[in-house]
Amino acid sequence: MLRASRRVLRPGGRTAFYTIHPAAGLAPAQRRRAARSGAPAVSTARPYEDLLASAGYTQISRTDCTAEFAATAQAWLSEWDAAFAELAALYGEEFVAERQRRRRAQLRAIGDGLLARSLFTATRP
């Protein structure tokens, strides 16, 4: 996907995206827990900086947005807890309970330093 997006950019064009990813420097067991706790893209084996560089991008930067990610995840969890009965009536109790279980696991992983959210930017040379 990164190579394809690079092809459609003009020289000097920039790309930017947010993603949830494993924190740097994790042991293999911690990385597996991060992958289980995050979105499917979290299981990527290489850091996004490496993926962008191998796709031909330059001027690669990463801005850490983990604190904002944690605050948003906590807000979603709190609001869904407050509206549990109404949401269970709409989606089913099992679905809502499972979604909340996954949110709690994600928040624990963020708090344990396993998951991060970053804004990546890069330039097509």
Please write the tens of the pLDDT for every residue from 46-101.
889 999 999 999 999 999 999 999 999 999 999 999 999 999 999 999 999 999 99
CATH superfamily placement of domain 2-123: Vaccinia Virus protein VP39 (3.40.50.150)
3-state SS string over 16-85?
EEEEEEECCCCCHHHHHHHHHHCCHHHHCCCCHHHHHHHCCCEEEEEEECHHHHHHHHHHHHHHHHHCHH
Q: What pLDDT does 1 receive?
A: 87
